[in-house]
């Protein structure tokens, strides 16, 4: 979800305003994805590296996370959406952790849809974490055990969309992205529309995915 800061600057507003409007787009875009047949989506809110931004910004975004969960909790329940925050959440305050844990607990048995928020998440962290979990269980380090202990388990993204104009993964799901289709939009995140998602899904529908094989 890149581009909140630039979007806000372009209308003479604060970065915080950009993040606020950006966070308000998450659930709407998730709903669009589900209407187009996608049942799992992860929104990259904060990378491990983003957490080194100033306290004012990181604190504000963590509050947005709490506000968003409270705002959409009933929708998650009503629409049977399993909610999860992936990443190293140990840095969050007890209050926010409680809100996250409550939403995760209340939605944990839903299987219809999954909405993940990646917060203080890094693909490198996910892999290291997974290896350590396997080692702690005396399991061999192989594709199967590593995959099992990743935050996303066996959910690998079919497509990854990055807004904001940069063509890089910025430490997002490095293991899981091995065969993902990548889309880079010049649009700033708060400007993303349902039509943008529809266009990407249409294009994705025409791709013959080979996973390294011969079609
Ligand atoms: C990148 O844009 C965006 C972020 C680092 C934060 C993304 C956060 C949100 C969309 C709000 C939080 C959402 C939830 C659900 C908690 P940038 O700030 O780097 O933008 P710039 O490149 O234009 O400066």
- In whole angstroms, give the CA distance from residue 94 to residue 170: 28
Annotated domain spans of the chain? 4-199
Closest approach atom of ligand 1 to CA 189 = 10
Question: Which residue(s) pair with 41 in the sheet?
Answer: 115
- In whole angstroms, give the CA distance from residue 206 to residue 198: 13
25 touches ligand 1 (CB under 6 Å): no
Question: Which residue(s) pair with 115 in the sheet?
Answer: 41, 83
Topology of domain 4-199, CATH: Undecaprenyl pyrophosphate synthetase (3.40.1180)
Q: Compute, in angstroms, the gap from residue 215 CA to the centroid of ligand 1.
A: 39
64 touches ligand 1 (CB under 6 Å): yes
| Mean pLDDT confidence for 126-132 | 98
- In whole angstroms, give the CA distance from residue 1 to residue 13: 18
Q: What's the gap between Cα 138 and its chain centre?
A: 30
Using one digit for the tens of pLDDT, what is the confidence trace for 51-72?
999 999 999 999 999 999 999 9
Task: Work out the angle at residue 196's Cα, subtended by the Cα atoms of residues 193 and 110, and round it to the nearest 5 degrees.
Answer: 75
Give 142's pLDDT tier (boundaries 50, 70, 90).
very high
Q: Whose CA is nearest to atom 22 of ligand 1?
A: 3
Q: Whose CA is nearest to atom 7 of ligand 1?
A: 45
152 touches ligand 1 (CB under 6 Å): no
> Is residue 2 annotated as a catalytic residue, yes or no?
yes
Q: What's the gap between Cα 162 and its chain centre?
A: 11
> Is residue 137 annotated as a catalytic residue, yes or no?
no
Is the pLDDT at 28 greater than 90? The verdict is yes
Is the pLDDT at 204 greater than 80? The verdict is yes
Question: Which residue(s) pair with 44 in the sheet?
Answer: 118
Is residue 114 within 8 A of residue 39, CB to CB? The reply is: yes
Q: CB neighbours of 154 closer than 8 A, spacing ≥ 6?
A: 147, 148
Tell me what pLDDT residue 154 has. Answer: 85
């Amino acid at each position: 979800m890149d581009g909140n800061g630039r979007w806000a600057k372009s209308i003479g507003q604060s970065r915080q305003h950009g993040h606020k409007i950006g966070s308000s787009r998450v659930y709407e875009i998730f709903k669009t994805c589900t209407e187009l047949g996608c049942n799992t989506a992860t929104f990259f809110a904060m990378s491990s590296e983003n957490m080194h931004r100033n306290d004012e910004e990181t604190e504000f975004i963590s509050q947005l996370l709490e506000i968003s969960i409270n705002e959409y909790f009933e929708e998650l329940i009503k629409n049977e959406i399993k909610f999860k925050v992936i990443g190293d959440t140990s840095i969050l305050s007890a209050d926010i952790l409680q809100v996250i844990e409550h939403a995760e607990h209340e939605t944990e048995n839903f299987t219809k849809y999954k909405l993940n928020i990646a917060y203080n998440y890094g693909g490198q962290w996910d892999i290291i974490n997974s290896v350590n979990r396997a080692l702690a269980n005396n399991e061999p380090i192989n594709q199967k055990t590593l995959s099992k202990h990743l935050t996303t388990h066996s959910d690998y993204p079919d497509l990854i969309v990055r807004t904001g104009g940069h063509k890089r993964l910025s430490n997002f799901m490095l293991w899981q992205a091995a065969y993902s289709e990548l889309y880079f939009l010049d649009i700033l995140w708060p400007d993303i529309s349902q039509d943008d998602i529809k266009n990407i899904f249409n294009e994705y529908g025409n791709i013959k995915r080979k996973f390294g094989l011969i079609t």
